[in-house]
Amino acid sequence: MELKPVAMYREMYERGHDELPSVFDAPTGTVEGDRDRILNYMRKVRAIFDVMGESPDLFTRDADIEGGPSLYSDGVWIWREDSLRYLAEQPLTLPAEFVERVRSFDYTPQSFDTRDPAFDAAFLAYF
């Protein structure tokens, strides 16, 4: 199993994750008219890995995001707490496949088995 990252960038990690795009090369453009509903969907899923620490804000100098490294997933896609902030504040492009999935579920997260060992291995790759 492999989870697909949403608004996750290599600068979010101190090492590794060279497969992720740079936030400085991230595509930007028109923000979806339903971006607030999409973000609400992303906030409604439960955290799969909650981190008490903070992460540096990649767009605001000398600022941090509490719980930034915390991970969320809908069972297919994965994102971080700081991803939510960036998507709310920046015109970052969301993957079309992700947007289609969210809309197809009428912005309501579906349940999935977080105890599946394959899921554990998949999400731990992003910690």
Paired tokens of 109: 């997260």
Q: Please give the radius of gyration of the chain, using alpha carbons only, rounded to the nearest integer.
A: 14
Residue with the two structure tokens 């960036």: 86
**pTM given for the model:** 0.94
Residue 27 is predicted with a pLDDT of 92
Task: Give the pLDDT confidence of 52-81 residue by residue, as tens digits.
Answer: 999 999 999 999 999 999 999 999 999 999
Residue 46 is predicted with a pLDDT of 84
Task: Give the pLDDT confidence of 83-110 residue by residue, as tens digits.
Answer: 999 999 999 999 999 999 999 999 999 9
Question: pLDDT category, 37, cuts 50, 70, 90?
Answer: very high
- The ranges assigned to domains in the chain are 4-9+26-124
Backbone angles phi, psi at 87, to 5 degrees: -65, -30
Residue 16 is predicted with a pLDDT of 79
Residue with the two structure tokens 């979806």: 32
pLDDT of residue 127 exceeding 90: no
pLDDT of residue 25 exceeding 90: yes
Residue 87 is predicted with a pLDDT of 97
DSSP state of 23: G
Instruction: State how far the Cα of 66 lies from the Cα of 57, in Å rounded to an integer.
Output: 10
